[in-house]
Structure formats: structure tokens, C-alpha cells
């Protein structure tokens, strides 16, 4: 079960990991095993291990947009957790707009904790969209990651506003892609069997 840290659940996760690792021992390039190990580790919050396995998937299947998306998703998740913690210590809750009221010290902590995560996240999410131009989930995480990038601008109001413009742009692109994907699904289901 995702995000369930009970000893029983972790034991089940470990059993599954052992099984997939046995598959990898025979075939280190088994994509299904690599993806499953990444997924299980993500679900038990071992994010660094999950990213490592998604990067192995990318090495074998460089045109798999889902693997790039997942690395970006993990980077955003970690950056978001860092931001919430650092902002809370500064007496703030995340406003999602670069939090311009934060202290200089909080901004420096955010830069130290999140710069690499944000940069990698943007890189991988952009690659996911490049590979799948209607990948609306990747677009949603791009806008969320630009919100984290806005946190890093430390008093540079023009840069913060530029990041927020990217947020708005990706929200619009995601909505457009979602509509396009829904239309494709509708057309696919309308081509069903006709009885005569």
C-alpha cells in the first residue's frame, strides 16, 4: 500500500523488491522489474532509490516519457517537503507564489536545499513533455516545479514574476492537453462495434 509505513506493509514491499531483484539478477535490463522497484521504493518513500531506478529505466528506454515524469515528480515532492519545512521555521505557510515575504535566511536555506532538485525536475519534466506533447500530468508538475523555482529567486522580483508567468503558461498548456486527451479517448470509444 502506498505511503503506509507499518511493519507489515514494509515487509510485503521488501518481499516484492526481493522478487524483482531476483529477476534483475538474471536480466539486469528487465524494464518491468526496474519500473516496479522504482514504484515500490517511491510508495515506501525511498525517493532517492526510486529516482536511481527510474534513471536506469531511462538508460535502457530513453524514449519512455513516464520515467522522466517520475524523476521530475520525485524532485518536486522532495523540494515541496523542504519548502514547507523551511517556510514553517520562518513562520510562514507556502503561498505557491515564490513566498516573497520569507526572510533572506529562509531563502538561502531554500536555495541550498532545492536548487538541484528544481533544476533536475524541470529538465526531466520538460523531456517528458518533449517525448509526449500532450502529457498533461507532466505539465501540471512543471507548473508546480516553477512555483518551487520562484522560491529560489531571493529578492529578484523580476525573476520571481517570470517563474510565475511560467506557472500560468503550464497551467494553460496542461488544460489544453487534458482536453485534447479527453477528445482522443471519446473518439476511440465511439469507434465501437455497430450491430446491424
pLDDT, one tens digit per residue, over 142-192 is 999 999 999 999 999 999 999 999 999 999 999 999 999 999 988 888 755
For residues 175 and 194, which has the higher predicted lDDT (pLDDT)?
Answer: 175
Element (H, E) at 17: helix 7-26
* Interatomic CA distance for residues 158 and 131, integer angstroms: 31
H-type alpha helices, 90-156: 104-131, 136-151
Rg (CA), the chain: 20
For residues 7 and 58, which has the higher predicted lDDT (pLDDT)?
Answer: 58
Task: Give the mean pLDDT of 32-49.
Answer: 94
Q: Give me the residue label for grid cell 533536475.
A: 120
Residue 107 is predicted with a pLDDT of: 97
* Residue 51 pLDDT grade (very low, low, confident, very high; cuts 50, 70, 90): very high
Cell of 179: 482536453
Tens of pLDDT, residue by residue over 82-96, are 999 999 999 999 999
Residue 188 is predicted with a pLDDT of: 84
Task: Give the mean pLDDT of 17-21.
Answer: 93
Residue 195 is predicted with a pLDDT of: 53
Task: Give the mean pLDDT of 51-59.
Answer: 97
Residue 177's nearest CA partner among 53, 65, 82 is: 65
pTM as predicted: 0.89
* Interatomic CA distance for residues 104 and 102, integer angstroms: 7
Q: Does the pLDDT of residue 3 top 80, yes or no?
A: no
* Interatomic CA distance for residues 106 and 169, integer angstroms: 27
* Interatomic CA distance for residues 49 and 37, integer angstroms: 9
Q: Does the pLDDT of residue 193 top 60, yes or no?
A: no
Residue 153 is predicted with a pLDDT of: 97
* Interatomic CA distance for residues 9 and 42, integer angstroms: 14
Sign of CA dihedral 188, 190, 191, 193: positive
Average pLDDT along the chain: 93
Instruction: Centre a 10 Å sphere on the Cβ of residue 19 and count the other Cβ atoms it contains.
Output: 12
* Interatomic CA distance for residues 77 and 75, integer angstroms: 5
Amino acid at each position: 500500500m502506498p505511503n503506509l509505513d507499518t511493519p507489515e506493509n514494509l515487509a510485503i514491499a521488501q518481499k516484492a523488491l526481493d522478487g524483482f531483484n531476483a529477476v534483475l539478477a538474471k536480466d539486469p535490463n528487465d524494464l518491468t522489474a526496474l519500473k516496479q522497484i522504482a514504484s515500490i521504493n517511491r510508495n515506501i518513500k525511498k525517493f532517492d532509490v526510486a529516482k536511481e531506478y527510474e534513471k536506469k529505466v531511462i538508460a535502457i528506454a530513453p524514449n519512455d516519457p513516464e520515467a522522466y515524469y517520475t524523476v521530475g515528480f520525485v524532485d518536486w515532492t522532495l523540494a515541496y517537503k523542504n519548502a514547507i519545512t523551511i517556510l514553517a521555521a520562518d513562520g510562514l505557510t507556502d503561498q505557491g507564489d515564490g513566498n516573497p515575504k520569507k526572510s533572506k535566511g529562509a531563502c538561502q536555506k531554500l536555495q541550498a536545499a532545492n536548487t538541484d532538485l528544481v533544476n533536475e525536475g524541470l529538465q526531466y519534466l520538460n523531456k517528458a513533455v518533449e517525448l509526449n506533447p500532450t502529457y498533461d500530468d507532466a505539465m501540471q508538475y512543471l507548473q508546480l516545479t516553477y512555483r518551487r523555482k520562484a522560491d529560489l529567486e531571493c529578492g529578484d522580483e523580476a525573476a520571481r514574476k517570470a517563474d510565475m508567468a511560467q506557472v500560468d503558461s503550464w497551467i494553460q498548456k496542461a488544460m489544453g492537453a487534458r482536453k485534447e486527451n479527453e477528445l482522443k479517448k471519446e473518439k476511440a470509444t465511439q469507434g465501437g462495434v455497430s450491430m446491424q
